[in-house]
């Protein structure tokens, strides 16, 4: 009889022990790495060790699951021995074991401990950090082997990397939190944008080469200052000659301002004050690019395509806007309609209106080499001028008279927003059209010399 009592006591202890491991499992799954790190900074007991444990959280969760199951199975075996001694009928003994262990496992070693584990996650995890560290060192390899065996015999992908197999599951949790009001809509979108950074390339967020504002290396610091003021950019790529494909550096507004008080400094060539440019492949993921920009304290990168030519540029602001979205302030212009009909057969077009829509509107046809190079009416003006058009720029192309309009964007930069287009009389002398093109270029020539 004494042996039966001792065995029954052992069963009770094993069930309680299973409950302890269930509570620790829930606690380790609940605690936040960031909060534990804050506790470690405050020298909270066990926080430093727990912080290190959370770096390999699945290891310790697997150990608690293993010990939880081991305790329950041991309890079932010992309880079977007790009931076999007390009850002659084997069938009734098995029924008794099943009934007792079902209730005990569900209540004492299941729901109750897990609820307490989530309610007091940090207290339990901190208090048990030392014994769990020891158990992890001893039983961690055993649990890992068993997990590996389970993954090997289970169809589909296993959970070798912890409780979350994919980003999709994390995003589903974010969606659930948003639906329950825990996370606001804008916060949910921001979290999803962070995950999308790894799938977005720099080419998708860049300013294309045809829309880049640049300056020749032979221009003076004074001319660079006027360009910076007119365009609104504080960092401007420097090119060799007039080829925007050959970027040799970047000039910073603060370097320009430092020389404006000195007449010799104003007359100095841009090449003397420019800084080295940072070149990256246009296929680079923007999460990696953002990390590099933060590490190197760099705000502007020149993108290079697969052929080694300049594809465009990307700023750190472009990447951040992928996370937080467009920032609207009092300087934002109102939304521009794609097409607005004016008097005398003229139209005000959005600078981003596609060339196919322009061709349909005016019944004109663009050459293949043009449509392969640019896609919008603003890009067409940039292609014809050989530089980024500023408000007031004038171009005649394929029988269309184009004049750029614009203003300040949300960052204070001067940008072309609309283009006033008019179809020229086809009966006009071709020489007049050519003169019109030349006049457009001449009208902008002085401005071009000063602001390119």
CATH number, domain of 262, equals 3.10.580.10
Same domain, 389 and 298: no
Residue 17's pLDDT band (boundaries 50, 70, 90)?
very high
Residue 182 lies in a domain: no
Distance CA 396, CA 374 (A): 16
Query: Please, are residues 235 and 253 in contact by the beta-carbon 8 Å criterion?
Result: yes
Q: Given 160, 191, 225, which residue is the final one in a domain?
A: 160
Residue 355 lies in a domain: yes
Backbone angles phi and psi of 207, in degrees to 5 = -90, 115
Structural domains counted in the chain: 3
List alpha helices for 280-354, DSSP H.
286-296, 316-324
Token output for 407: 């203003």
Distance CA 397, CA 389 (A): 14
- Has residue 325 got a pLDDT over 70? no
Residue 284 lies in a domain: yes
Query: Please, are residues 250 and 218 in contact by the beta-carbon 8 Å criterion?
Result: no
Same domain, 270 and 378: no
Residue 249 lies in a domain: yes
- Has residue 168 got a pLDDT over 70? no
Same domain, 253 and 369: no
- Has residue 333 got a pLDDT over 60? no
- Has residue 166 got a pLDDT over 70? no
Residue 103 lies in a domain: yes
Q: Which residues of 385-423 are buried (b: 16+ CB within 10 A; e: fewer)?
A: bebbbbbebbbbbbbbbbbbbbeeeeeebbbbbbbbbbb
Q: What is the C-alpha R_g of the chain? A: 35
Residue 430's pLDDT band (boundaries 50, 70, 90)?
very low
Query: Please, are residues 27 and 125 in contact by the beta-carbon 8 Å criterion?
Result: yes
Beta carbons within 8 Å of 96's beta carbon, 6+ residues apart: 83, 87
Distance CA 212, CA 232 (A): 12
Position 246 scores a pLDDT of 86
Q: Which domain holds residue 246?
A: 208-324
Same domain, 352 and 416: yes
Measured CA distances, 37 to 48, 61, 341, 366 (Å) = 7, 19, 61, 61
Residue 188 lies in a domain: no
Query: 372 in helix, strand or coil?
Result: helix
Residue 111 lies in a domain: yes
Same domain, 302 and 391: no
Mean pLDDT, residues 281-285? 91
* Selected residue with higher pLDDT from 91 and 243: 91
Same domain, 420 and 443: yes
The H-or-E segment that residue 227 falls in is: helix 221-231
Distance CA 364, CA 355 (A): 10
Q: Of 414, 413, 390, 403, which is closest to residue 348 (Cα–Cα)?
A: 403
Mean pLDDT, residues 269-289? 91
């Amino acid at each position: 009889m004494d042996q039966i009592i001792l065995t029954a006591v052992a069963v009770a202890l094993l069930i309680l022990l299973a409950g302890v491991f269930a509570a620790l499992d829930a606690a380790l799954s609940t605690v936040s790495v960031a909060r534990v790190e804050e506790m470690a900074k405050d020298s909270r007991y066990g926080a430093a060790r727990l912080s290190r444990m959370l770096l390999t959280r699945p290891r310790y969760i697997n150990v608690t699951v293993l010990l939880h199951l081991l305790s329950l199975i041991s309890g079932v075996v010992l309880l079977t021995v007790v009931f076999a001694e007390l009850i002659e009928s084997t069938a009734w003994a098995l029924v008794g074991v099943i009934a007792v262990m079902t209730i005990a496992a569900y209540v004492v070693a299941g729901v109750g401990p897990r609820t307490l584990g989530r309610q007091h996650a940090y207290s339990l995890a901190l208090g048990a950090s030392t014994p769990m560290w020891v158990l992890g060192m001893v039983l961690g390899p055993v649990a890992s082997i068993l997990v590996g065996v389970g993954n090997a015999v289970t169809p589909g992908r296993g959970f070798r990397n912890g409780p979350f197999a994919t980003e999709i599951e994390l995003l589903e949790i974010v969606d659930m939190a948003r639906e329950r009001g825990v996370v606001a809509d804008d916060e949910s979108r921001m979290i999803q944008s962070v995950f999308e950074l790894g799938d977005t390339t720099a080419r998708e967020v860049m300013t294309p080469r045809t829309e880049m504002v640049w300056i020749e290396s032979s221009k003076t610091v004074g001319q660079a200052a006027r360009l910076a003021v007119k365009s609104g950019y504080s960092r401007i790529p420097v090119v060799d000659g007039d080829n925007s494909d050959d970027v040799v550096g970047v000039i910073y507004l603060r370097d320009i301002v430092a020389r404006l008080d000195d007449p010799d400094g104003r007359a100095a060539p841009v090449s003397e004050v420019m800084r080295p440019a940072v070149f990256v492949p246009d296929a680079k993921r923007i999460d990696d690019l953002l990390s590099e920009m933060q590490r190197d304290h760099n705000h502007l990168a020149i993108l290079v395509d697969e052929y080694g030519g300049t594809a465009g540029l990307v700023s750190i602001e472009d990447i951040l806007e992928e996370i937080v979205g467009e920032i609207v302030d009092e300087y934002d212009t109102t939304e521009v309609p794609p097409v607005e009909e004016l008097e005398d057969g003229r139209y005000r077009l959005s600078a981003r209106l596609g060339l196919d829509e322009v061709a349909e509107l005016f019944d004109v046809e663009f050459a293949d080499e043009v449509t392969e190079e640019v896609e919008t009416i603003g890009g067409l003006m940039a292609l014809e001028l050989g530089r980024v058009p500023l408000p007031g720029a004038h171009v005649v192309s394929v029988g269309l008279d184009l004049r750029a309009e614009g203003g300040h964007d949300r960052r204070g930069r001067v940008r072309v927003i609309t283009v006033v287009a008019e179809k020229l009389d086809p009966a006009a002398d071709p020489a007049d059209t050519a003169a019109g093109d030349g006049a457009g270029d001449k009208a902008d020539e002085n401005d071009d010399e000063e602001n390119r």
